[in-house]
A = this chain, B = another copy of it.
């Protein structure tokens, strides 16, 4: 089964989509298998991270912004603004696809794992996610 959905991100940051993906796994009615999440963009990405304490996500965001700051004088791809090239770099350092086994009809995520869209652009964007369950 392949399904797509759109998420409107409020701007830069980690936005949880675990429940949206879990709902598609339930809809698939597959008991044991594999769920793959794919993002159709190069300036936003996917990651699985700690879903409990929000301070972990804030620190991830801070650290990645420090590693890939805007205003780098060596960037030449700047037509779309100062957040454009950092967004591409952050995307290649994280994930465009994630595969999670399904056990007893449920994503085999660990207790502290949540699935997140990582929006790297400053402004809100509509992001397309494609999910395969098989």
Contact = CB atoms under 8 A, between A and B. Distances in A.
Interface of A: 1-2, 4, 32-34, 36, 38-42, 47-50, 53, 55-56, 58-60, 62-63, 66-68, 72, 74-77, 79, 85, 88-89, 91-103, 108-113, 128, 130-132, 134
Nearest to A131: B101
Given A49-B42, A113-B42, A108 B89 contact: no
A101 B130 contact: yes
Contacts of A92: 47, 49, 60, 93-94
Work out how many copies of this chain go into the complex: 3
Q: Max chain B CB contacts within 10 Å: which of A1, A42, A66? A: A42
